[in-house]
Amino acid sequence: MTTIFDQLESNVQSYARSFPVVFDRAEGAAIFDGTGRRYIDFLAGAGTLNYGHNNPHCKAALLDYIDADGIAHGLDMHTRAKAEFLQSFKCHILQPRKMDYRLQFTGPTGTNAVEAAMKVARKVTGRHNIVAFTNGFHGVTLGAAAATGNQHHRGGCGIGLGGITRIPYDGYLGSDLDSTQLLQKMLLDNSSGMDAPAAVIVETVQGEGGLNVASAQWLQALQAICREHGILLIVDDIQAGCGRTGSFFSFEPLGIQPDIVTLSKSLSGMGLPFALVLIKPEYDQWQPGEHNGTFRGNNHAFITAKTALDTYWSSPRFAQDVQRKAALLHERLTAITELAAPGQIHTKGRGMMQGISFTQTQLTDAITTRCFESGLIIETSGPDSEVIKCLCPLTISDADLHAGLDILSACTAEVLSEANLLAAAA
Amino acid sequence: MTTIFDQLESNVQSYARSFPVVFDRAEGAAIFDGTGRRYIDFLAGAGTLNYGHNNPHCKAALLDYIDADGIAHGLDMHTRAKAEFLQSFKCHILQPRKMDYRLQFTGPTGTNAVEAAMKVARKVTGRHNIVAFTNGFHGVTLGAAAATGNQHHRGGCGIGLGGITRIPYDGYLGSDLDSTQLLQKMLLDNSSGMDAPAAVIVETVQGEGGLNVASAQWLQALQAICREHGILLIVDDIQAGCGRTGSFFSFEPLGIQPDIVTLSKSLSGMGLPFALVLIKPEYDQWQPGEHNGTFRGNNHAFITAKTALDTYWSSPRFAQDVQRKAALLHERLTAITELAAPGQIHTKGRGMMQGISFTQTQLTDAITTRCFESGLIIETSGPDSEVIKCLCPLTISDADLHAGLDILSACTAEVLSEANLLAAAA
Amino acid sequence: MTTIFDQLESNVQSYARSFPVVFDRAEGAAIFDGTGRRYIDFLAGAGTLNYGHNNPHCKAALLDYIDADGIAHGLDMHTRAKAEFLQSFKCHILQPRKMDYRLQFTGPTGTNAVEAAMKVARKVTGRHNIVAFTNGFHGVTLGAAAATGNQHHRGGCGIGLGGITRIPYDGYLGSDLDSTQLLQKMLLDNSSGMDAPAAVIVETVQGEGGLNVASAQWLQALQAICREHGILLIVDDIQAGCGRTGSFFSFEPLGIQPDIVTLSKSLSGMGLPFALVLIKPEYDQWQPGEHNGTFRGNNHAFITAKTALDTYWSSPRFAQDVQRKAALLHERLTAITELAAPGQIHTKGRGMMQGISFTQTQLTDAITTRCFESGLIIETSGPDSEVIKCLCPLTISDADLHAGLDILSACTAEVLSEANLLAAAA
Amino acid sequence: MTTIFDQLESNVQSYARSFPVVFDRAEGAAIFDGTGRRYIDFLAGAGTLNYGHNNPHCKAALLDYIDADGIAHGLDMHTRAKAEFLQSFKCHILQPRKMDYRLQFTGPTGTNAVEAAMKVARKVTGRHNIVAFTNGFHGVTLGAAAATGNQHHRGGCGIGLGGITRIPYDGYLGSDLDSTQLLQKMLLDNSSGMDAPAAVIVETVQGEGGLNVASAQWLQALQAICREHGILLIVDDIQAGCGRTGSFFSFEPLGIQPDIVTLSKSLSGMGLPFALVLIKPEYDQWQPGEHNGTFRGNNHAFITAKTALDTYWSSPRFAQDVQRKAALLHERLTAITELAAPGQIHTKGRGMMQGISFTQTQLTDAITTRCFESGLIIETSGPDSEVIKCLCPLTISDADLHAGLDILSACTAEVLSEANLLAAAA
Q: Is the pLDDT of residue C87 over 70?
A: yes
Residue B2 pLDDT class (50, 70, 90 cuts): low
Where in chain A is CATH 3.40.640.10? 70-312
Question: Cβ contact (<8 Å) for A71 and B294?
Answer: no
Compute φ and ψ for A135, nearest 5 degrees: 65, 5
Compute φ and ψ for B262, nearest 5 degrees: -105, 135
Q: Mean per-residue pLDDT for C300-323?
A: 98
**CATH 3.40.50.300 holds for C70-312:** no
Touching subunits for chain B (3+ Cβ pairs under 8 A): A, C, D
Question: Cβ contact (<8 Å) for B134 and C192?
Answer: yes
Q: Is the pLDDT of residue D2 over 80?
A: no
Q: Is the pLDDT of residue D1 over 70?
A: no
Question: Cβ contact (<8 Å) for C107 and D111?
Answer: yes
Question: Cβ contact (<8 Å) for B159 and D160?
Answer: yes
Measure in Å the smallest separation between the Cα of D178 and chain A Cα atoms: 9
What ipTM was predicted for this assembly? 0.97
Question: Cβ contact (<8 Å) for C191 and B166?
Answer: no
Strands B379-381 and D379-381: unpaired
Write out residues 333-352 of B within 8 Å (CB-CB) of A: none
Measure in Å the smallest separation between the Cα of C163 and chain A Cα atoms: 13
Report chain A residues whose CB lies below 8 A from the CB of D162.
160, 162-163
Strands C379-381 and C387-390: antiparallel
- How far apart CA D365 and CA B125 sit, in angstroms, is 56
- How far apart CA A266 and CA C86 sit, in angstroms, is 70
Q: Report yes or no: B383 and C190 within 8 Å, Cβ to Cβ.
A: yes
Report chain B residues whose CB lies below 8 A from the CB of D195.
none
D391 at interface of C, judged by CB pairs closer than 8 A: no
Q: CB-based contacts of B342: which residues, under 8 Å, 6+ apart?
A: none
Length in residues, chain D: 426
Q: Mean per-residue pLDDT for D342-371?
A: 94
B186 at interface of C, judged by CB pairs closer than 8 A: yes
Across the beta sheet with A38-41, what order do the strands follow? A23-27, A30-33, A38-41, A376-377
A31 at interface of B, judged by CB pairs closer than 8 A: yes
pLDDT digits (tens, 9 = 90+) for B101-147: 999 999 999 999 999 999 999 999 999 999 999 999 999 999 999 99
State the DSSP string of C237-251.
-TTTTTTTTSSSSTT
C159 at interface of A, judged by CB pairs closer than 8 A: yes
Q: Is the pLDDT of residue D241 over 90?
A: yes
Closest CA to A210 of A382, A405, A67, A22: A382
Question: Cβ contact (<8 Å) for C134 and B192?
Answer: yes
Residue C424 pLDDT class (50, 70, 90 cuts): confident
> What are the start-end ranges of the H helices in A40-141?
44-47, 56-67, 80-88, 110-125
Q: Mean per-residue pLDDT for C414-425?
A: 89
Q: CB-based contacts of A256: which residues, under 8 Å, 6+ apart?
A: A216, A219, A220, A222, A223, A233, A235
Measure in Å the smallest separation between the Cα of A194 and chain B Cα atoms: 16
Question: Cβ contact (<8 Å) for A159 and C159?
Answer: no
Measure in Å the smallest separation between the Cα of B160 and chain D Cα atoms: 7
Measure in Å the smallest separation between the Cα of D43 and chain A Cα atoms: 21
Closest CA to C230 of C191, C202, C184, C196: C196
Report chain B residues whose CB lies below 8 A from the CB of A116.
12
CB atoms within 10 A of CB C311: 19
Residue A382 DSSP label: S
Question: Cβ contact (<8 Å) for B182 and C176?
Answer: no
Residue B342 pLDDT class (50, 70, 90 cuts): confident
B158 at interface of A, judged by CB pairs closer than 8 A: yes
Nearest to D134 among A181, A189, A210 (CB): A189
Report chain D residues whose CB lies below 8 A from the CB of A137.
191
Q: Mean per-residue pLDDT for C107-121?
A: 98
Average pLDDT of every residue of chain D:
96
C126 at interface of B, judged by CB pairs closer than 8 A: no
- How far apart CA A270 and CA B72 sit, in angstroms, is 7
pLDDT value at position A340? 84
C60 at interface of D, judged by CB pairs closer than 8 A: no
> What are the start-end ranges of the H helices in A199-291?
216-229
**CATH 3.20.20.140 holds for B4-55+317-418:** no
CB atoms within 10 A of CB A3: 10
Nearest to C134 among B172, B177, B186 (CB): B186
List the single best residue of D295, D385, D389 to mutate versus C (max C Cβ within 10 A).
D295
Nearest chain C residue to A158 by CA distance is C160
Report chain A residues whose CB lies below 8 A from the CB of D380.
none
Question: Cβ contact (<8 Å) for C294 and D25?
Answer: no
Measure in Å the smallest separation between the Cα of A158 and chain D Cα atoms: 11
pLDDT value at position C1? 46
Question: Cβ contact (<8 Å) for D190 and A166?
Answer: no
Measure in Å the smallest separation between the Cα of A301 and chain C Cα atoms: 33
List the single best residue of D175, D191, D229 to mutate versus A (max A Cβ within 10 A).
D191
Report chain A residues whose CB lies below 8 A from the CB of C159.
160
Where in chain A is CATH 3.90.1150.10? 4-55+317-418
pLDDT digits (tens, 9 = 90+) for B161-200: 999 999 999 999 998 899 999 999 999 999 999 999 999 9
Residue C136 DSSP label: -
Nearest to C158 among D71, D128, D295 (CB): D128
Report chain C residues whose CB lies below 8 A from the CB of D298.
272-273
Question: Cβ contact (<8 Å) for C5 and D70?
Answer: no
The percent of residues in chain C predicted with pLDDT above 70, rounded, is 100
Amino acid identity, position B367: I
- How far apart CA D211 and CA A5 sit, in angstroms, is 62
Give the up-direction half-sphere exposure of residue C158: CA atoms within 13 A in the CB hemisphere: 26
Residue A1 pLDDT class (50, 70, 90 cuts): very low
Measure in Å the smallest separation between the Cα of A134 and chain D Cα atoms: 4
Nearest chain C residue to D150 by CA distance is C290
Strands D353-358 and A387-390: unpaired
Residue D89 DSSP label: I
B163 at interface of A, judged by CB pairs closer than 8 A: yes
State the maximum Cα–Cα separation within chain B, in Å, rounded to a whole number: 69
pLDDT digits (tens, 9 = 90+) for C122-172: 999 999 999 999 999 999 999 999 999 999 999 999 999 999 999 999 999
Touching subunits for chain C (3+ Cβ pairs under 8 A): A, B, D
Residue B289 DSSP label: T
Report chain D residues whose CB lies below 8 A from the CB of C121.
158
Measure in Å the smallest separation between the Cα of B132 and chain C Cα atoms: 9
pLDDT digits (tens, 9 = 90+) for C183-207: 999 999 999 999 999 999 999 999 9
Q: Mean per-residue pLDDT for B269-284?
A: 98
Element (H, E) at D125: helix D110-125
**In b/e form, how buried is each residue of C375-398, taking b as 16+ CB within 10 angstroms?**
ebbbbbbbbbbbbbbbbbbbbbee
- How far apart CA B118 and CA B113 sit, in angstroms, is 9
Q: Is the pLDDT of residue B361 over 50?
A: yes
Report how far apart the first and last C-alpha atoms of chain C are (Å, whole number).
42
Q: Mean per-residue pLDDT for A321-330?
A: 98
Compute φ and ψ for A188, nearest 5 degrees: -80, -20
Beta-bridged to residue D202, according to DSSP, are: D235
- How far apart CA A336 and CA A341 sit, in angstroms, is 11
pLDDT digits (tens, 9 = 90+) for D315-335: 999 999 999 999 999 999 999
- How far apart CA D236 and CA D202 sit, in angstroms, is 6
Burial of B338 (0-12, 13-18, 19+ CB in 10 A): exposed
**In b/e form, how buried is each residue of C118-157, taking b as 16+ CB within 10 angstroms?**
bbbbbbbbebbbbbbbbbbbbbbbbbbbbbbbbbbbbebb
Q: Is the pLDDT of residue D157 over 80?
A: yes
Closest CA to D235 of D280, D196, D190, D272: D280
Question: Cβ contact (<8 Å) for C108 and D83?
Answer: no
- How far apart CA D9 and CA D395 sit, in angstroms, is 33
Q: Is the pLDDT of residue B393 over 60?
A: yes
Residue D421 pLDDT class (50, 70, 90 cuts): confident
- How far apart CA D322 and CA D313 sit, in angstroms, is 12
Nearest chain D residue to B162 by CA distance is D160
Report chain A residues whose CB lies below 8 A from the CB of D169.
none
B189 at interface of C, judged by CB pairs closer than 8 A: yes
pLDDT value at position B421? 86
Residue D70 DSSP label: B
Question: Cβ contact (<8 Å) for A190 and D150?
Answer: yes
Q: Mean per-residue pLDDT for D384-392?
A: 97
Q: CB-based contacts of B409: which residues, under 8 Å, 6+ apart?
A: B332, B335, B336, B339
Helix (H, G, I), strand (E, B) or coil at C406: helix
The percent of residues in chain A predicted with pLDDT above 90, rounded, is 94
Report chain C residues whose CB lies below 8 A from the CB of D23.
71, 74, 77-80
B160 at interface of D, judged by CB pairs closer than 8 A: yes
Nearest to B149 among C133, C134, C192 (CB): C192
- How far apart CA B241 and CA A241 sit, in angstroms, is 37
Q: Report yes or no: C225 and C183 within 8 Å, Cβ to Cβ.
A: yes
Closest CA to D70 of B23, C26, A258, B75: C26
Q: How far is CA D118 from CA B238, C290, D132, D260, D278, in A?
A: 42, 22, 11, 9, 12
Q: Is the pLDDT of residue C261 over 60?
A: yes
- How far apart CA C43 and CA C49 sit, in angstroms, is 9
D159 at interface of B, judged by CB pairs closer than 8 A: yes
Closest CA to D135 of D121, D124, D125, D149: D149
